[in-house]
Structure 1
Amino acid sequence: MLFLFALAVISLALLTNGLVYLLVKFQDTTSTAVDFRYTWEIFWAVNIAILVLIAIASLIRLIALRGGGASIAELMGGELVIDPKGDFNRRKLLNVVEEMAIASGTPVPSVYIIPEQGINAFAAGYSPGDAVIGVTQGAVDHLNRDELQGVVAHEFSHIFNGDMRLNIRLMGVLYGILMLYLIGRMIVSPSHHVAASRDRSHAAVIAVGIGLMAIGAIGQFFGNLIKAAVSRQREFLADASAVQFTRNADGIADALKRIGGYEPGSILEHPESAEISHLFFSQGITFSFSGLMTTHPPLEERIRRIQPGWDEKFLWEKTPEPAGMAPPDSAMGFAGVSGGVPIDADQVVSQIGNPEPSQVLFAQQLIASIPDVFSDAAHDPYTARSLVYLFLLSGDAEVRTEQLTHLKDEADLGVYDALAKLILSEPKLETGMKLPLLEMAYPMLRQLSYKQYKLFMANMDVLIRADGRVGLSEWAVQKMMSKHLEEVFEAKHSVVKYNKLKQVQDACQILLSLLAHCDRESNIPSADAFNKGAETLELDIQLQEKAALSFKAMNKALEKLNSLHPLRKPKLIKACIATVSADNMISHIELELLRTVADCLECPMPPLGNAV
């Protein structure tokens, strides 16, 4: 990729110099007393100007994309799916996305419908916290549930593997080498040259514009080559991950067959489709060069890799929906968690970014078990805030009264009333439903205004400190909220600063100490639990006294650890698991804390309720 980019920049510089040379050579000397000559100084000045132009254009584009996945979905004219009651297809899409997110332990992405008839989809964002899933109307209308699940699983693979951040950065960089074409197009546009003077220099200006467009087309050519080089192999990997995730090769294979048998295929008409073509599930634009610049492998090749015995036939008619799953017992999967379950550290670490079908089934059962009043609350910007506040209310009547009084006076209009209804609702939530509901609420919380977001965070802080102390469960809720909402509202994203665990051993010491002290119902001494984790890390660290620990120090430690190289994080997660499971069991509070830590380290941990 770097070679192609360098070649593109060199080509643009040389061709622009060629254009300048022609302008100098054929200049109209009758209208000026100065006789310009093409010199080495001009050559290097043009080269520097091209480099500066590319850098500035790329920077401007990246700044415009700071909004993450939502900015890309809105660029494509996407419509956010908020409350799809009454729309079966939209409800189906939202359910599939939520199941995949909960099964993998990631925040539920915002879901956008792209108004296009081609069957396509994309995942976009800088991190799981600001990710969106965009699905075309054609895909929603023409894919059945299994096929849609295969497509969504494919897109989640891009979320797990960090492809989204690479893709957005690629958009910024490639915009820079496209800039000459855009400048040329602006020069020759009717709105420009109609207003221009009609003297002899006007023809030269138009000629310059056409020349810049021609040179810019070379940049566009190289940009497409770069996107193709980056994208193709990743699509094969995402297809394979989708099959592993769902254990249903027919789902994604049939989605690809449906594209092949559908007249619009996967082609999108939006003018911005070319810029984000490398994000799509399938080829989104048409190229005249056969196969040379296509960002995706041929449909036939992708299908054969999934189904080697494919009969070479595409699907022409929509397959009926598969039989629905019977709603499970509402308590299914939760009793074991609340009482403590055995845990296999190696298995859990191996599932980070690689969730298993059993977790998809667990997520389906869990979502079906959540009472409608709470599920509905998670899908509305107002009641989503009320739901979070509900999880922070104290069990002490006096403290709760103080908390509710504050919210009545300070919360946005309607939020307090919605909270009052949730408090009185029946049935109550089962143990283990809180984290999934928080994950389901993220898309709605991302829709807050900046002012509403700041008030929401301030109210959470007041609720947590109402009783004069911060509990582990309260801290977990606040930390998960702040981690992912800051990514959206503050554009706060992690940057790799440390390549070795030894560079962050002070933060490791704080983290493992807190985990060792968190569950005193265990008959294992805190020192023994801590040593289990320290041995896994192979670091010389010491258990800190409980009184010396604070959540402020924990927050700083997690922020530092999130800057650790991604390849070192699995070992850290394994050490955390070794610490909390020193007694070979994991309690509900330990599970909640463990998943919060994994979430903050951007290592999505699948639910452990019946997956281990």
Structure 2
Amino acid sequence: MNFFERQRRVRRLSVRLVALFVLAVVGIVLVVDLAVVLAFNATDAPPRELAALLGVVTAGTVAAIGAAALFRTVALRGGGGKVARELGGVPVPADTTDPELRRLRNVVEEMALASGVPVPEVYVLPNESAINAFAAGWTPSDAAVAVTRGALRRLNRDELQGVIAHEFSHVVNGDMRLNIRLMGLLFGILFLAVIGRGLLRAGILGDGRNRGGGGGANPLPLVGIAMIAAGYVGVLAGRLIQASVSRQREYLADASAVQFTRQTRGIAGALKKIGGVAEGSELKAPKRDEVGHMLLGEATGRASWFATHPPLVDRIRALEPSFDPAELSRLAKQWSAAPPSGRQEDVALGLAPADQPGAAEPARAPDRAGAPDPAGAPGSAAAAATAGRALPVEGHQVSVAPADVLRGVANPTEAAYAHATALLERIPPDLLDRARHRDAVVPLVLGLLLSPQPRVRQAQRSALADRHGTGTADAATRAADALADLHPALRLPLAELAFPALRDRPEPELEALLATVFSLIHADGAIDVSEYCLSRLLLNELQESLHPDSRWRTDRRRLTDARSAAAFLLAVLAQAGHTDPAAAQRAFQAGAATLRPGAHLPYAPPENGVLALETAWPVLDGLRPGDKERLVAATVEVISHDGTMTVPEFELLRTICGLLHCPLPPVVAAGAG
């Protein structure tokens, strides 16, 4: 199942979620209506009065559920970080030096670069001793990955990598959006229990004040009890909805983690530790049930008919068919006396220095066979050679087939992970430090956006000085000079690594930066493909992180409705990739044939080149998954019409896929030599 088929499955799950929510609301309404009829002795009322009463009660109940769901959904507009903070999460700084936290950030950064998505916010739940994790957010640009303190202490690097790979599966496949939407709906159907408690308390207090006054029976306690009962109907329905939405996806995420890391030891080992340590996966946070469907393991730590996750034994057996359930009992007995230590296991595996068990190693991919690889240790000659081979020389070209690219979308492999690790090793440490430091990141990012062409840079510098003053303009110019010798293949990864620190800046400053990036793109109307890619991708990520799109559906448009925008994109790509107009037209027609077989699209390249794509992105991003698949295939056909792809062309392809929310892992290293 490729990315686009998974997107179609998420759409079907969304339809099922709505249907189950409607059924839950109907059940709640029936309970409340019945309770009101009994409380007010309306069984003998005239049909018209009874219908009017039930109409008012039904409308009020539905309005209360809808308002509560809407309120909660709006409150979650803060993205994945909002969810993490509600559970007691603490942000992990991008420049942290804490060994455990540095190891966590290294793994997350490697996963993000290998997956082709922005580096998410990283949180730790310091008060949770169990082993658990989750990913939350509306889009990859506002996503957050959170792990418990217990996971950091108990899991070794392979296991932590497996857990993070599991969570990244939810990030790249669109599960997060459904998860966070479900949180809003569940709050709505559980809200009546809160109202019921209030009515019950008010009714009891009212009875106490009116006792002996000769008044009639107070119906509020009965209505309150009924509302509480309706609320528990909502709890039952919510559990069923969570289980319906979550269970099968956990198997898929486990399998994705194995596919990504190319070994079962990591994610399977983490699941075994959940089953073997005393704390399990149970969280203490009051809101644990609300997020139960998005966690790595059961929030309550107990399996039941309404469990949001498959049984641990079944998940482990899906990864290791020969697994004996008795092994969990043996491990539980062993670890009751001496709980596992991930840091000590890292030393034994050669993933951390023996003299500093807590030290966090520089980012690297551990040996997939399970044994430590001394020759590939950080800073070794072998590692440097590997990193050097991963970077193409100037003018290097890579053979690419559309089918291979489509299979790779949101489907990172071990090679992609190794390439991401090599990229991190090749970025100079001082630039990495700047990218991870919130006070140094803005000049660095602005420096990345400045053109090497003197005329264009002067126009950009003037725009910077007008908006931010000469001090910022000078700092950005100095950063651009420091970046002059950076390998072209490292510029986009460096920008992605800078995104978390950039996102940590105050919102007014980011809003101003959005306008600045846009002005740099259009400084004088002359910008090359690589500069446009970097600027546009950063602009898109900043916009989505500041203003997440929480609409229920964002993929409604058919390809026939976006015909002109799609043709526009293919023409721009053909023009950018070919100096010969005849060759450009042939590439365009090849892409058009892939996009719409048998149809003729006129080749009309725009005068302002890549800048003309600004009007096409909103239209194309709204395509349905199947139509996006055809568009990406057509895009690859145009770019690789001559059978090869250069670094700028590949950057353009990654940018297109990023703007279409089809994350593309690195592939250029496959042809490097």
- TM-score where L is the length of structure 1: 0.91
Residues 2-151 of structure 1: pairs in structure 2 closer than 5 A? 4-25=20-41, 39-115=50-126, 116-151=128-163
Deviations 1:261-311 (A, max 9, x none): 111111111111111110101101256xx6211100111111111011124
The structural deviation recorded for 1:520 is 3.5
Change (3 A) 1:458 1:41: closer
CA distance in 2, matches of 1:413, 1:146: 48
Deviations 1:185-213 (A, max 9, x none): 344569x9879982348975455434322
CA distance in 2, matches of 1:173, 1:338: 52
Aligned residue pair count: 602
The structural deviation recorded for 1:165 is 1.0
Q: Residue 246 of structure 1 corresponds to which residue in structure 2?
A: 261
Q: 2:624 aligns with which of 565, 569, 572?
A: 565
Q: Residue 283 of structure 2 corresponds to which residue in structure 1?
A: 268
Deviations 1:197-241 (A, max 9, x none): 823489754554343223211211111111011111111111111
Does 2:608 match 1:595?
A: no
Q: Residue 452 of structure 2 corresponds to which residue in structure 1?
A: 395
Unaligned runs of 5+ in 2: 1-15, 352-375
Q: What amino acid does structure 2 have at the position aligned with 1:198?
A: R
Q: Residue 198 of structure 1 corresponds to which residue in structure 2?
A: 209
CA distance in 2, matches of 1:460, 1:499: 28
CA distance in 1, matches of 2:206, 2:544: 45
Change (3 A) 1:197 1:302: same
SS at match of 1:198: helix
Residues 434-449 of structure 1: pairs in structure 2 closer than 5 A? 434-449=491-506
The structural deviation recorded for 1:489 is 1.6
CA distance in 2, matches of 1:421, 1:71: 36
Deviations 1:544-570 (A, max 9, x none): 1342x5555412212101100012212
Does 2:341 match 1:318?
A: yes
CA distance in 2, matches of 1:602, 1:338: 28
The structural deviation recorded for 1:450 is 2.7
Q: Residue 388 of structure 2 corresponds to which residue in structure 1?
A: 331
Stretch moving more, 251-260 or 579-588: 579-588
Q: 1:182 aligns with which of 173, 184, 194?
A: 194
Q: What amino acid does structure 2 have at the position aligned with 1:234?
A: R
The structural deviation recorded for 1:58 is 1.2
Stretch moving more, 402-411 or 238-247: 402-411
1:523, 1:583 within 8 Å by CA — same for their partners in 2? no
1:343, 1:581 within 8 Å by CA — same for their partners in 2? yes
2:39, 2:222 within 8 Å by CA — same for their partners in 1? no
The structural deviation recorded for 1:444 is 2.2
Q: Residue 369 of structure 2 corresponds to which residue in structure 1?
A: none
SS at match of 1:544: coil
1:399, 1:467 within 8 Å by CA — same for their partners in 2? yes
Does 2:502 match 1:502?
A: no
CA RMSD of aligned residues (A): 3.0
2:196, 2:227 within 8 Å by CA — same for their partners in 1? yes
The structural deviation recorded for 1:522 is 7.2
Q: What amino acid does structure 2 have at the position aligned with 1:9?
A: V
Q: What amino acid does structure 1 have at the position aligned with 2:59?
A: I
Q: What amino acid does structure 1 have at the position aligned with 2:114?
A: A
Q: 1:301 aligns with which of 301, 308, 314?
A: 314
1:382, 1:415 within 8 Å by CA — same for their partners in 2? no
Change (3 A) 1:204 1:262: same
Deviations 1:404-448 (A, max 9, x none): 566467438986676466456489311201111122222222223
Does 2:239 match 1:224?
A: yes
Does 2:231 match 1:235?
A: no
The structural deviation recorded for 1:529 is 1.2
Stretch moving more, 35-44 or 528-537: 35-44
CA distance in 1, matches of 2:28, 2:461: 64
Change (3 A) 1:412 1:239: farther
Stretch moving more, 154-163 or 78-87: 78-87
Change (3 A) 1:506 1:348: same
SS at match of 1:111: strand
Does 2:413 match 1:356?
A: yes
Does 2:594 match 1:536?
A: yes
SS at match of 1:153: helix
- TM-score where L is the length of structure 2: 0.83
Q: Residue 31 of structure 1 corresponds to which residue in structure 2?
A: none
SS at match of 1:22: helix
1:383, 1:418 within 8 Å by CA — same for their partners in 2? no
The structural deviation recorded for 1:402 is 6.0
- Quote the sequence identity (%): 38
Unaligned runs of 5+ in 1: 28-33
Stretch moving more, 493-502 or 317-326: 493-502
Q: What amino acid does structure 1 have at the position aligned with 2:341?
A: K
Does 2:444 match 1:433?
A: no
2:196, 2:228 within 8 Å by CA — same for their partners in 1? yes
Does 2:234 match 1:213?
A: no
SS at match of 2:284: coil
CA distance in 1, matches of 2:206, 2:251: 51
CA distance in 1, matches of 2:451, 2:400: 30
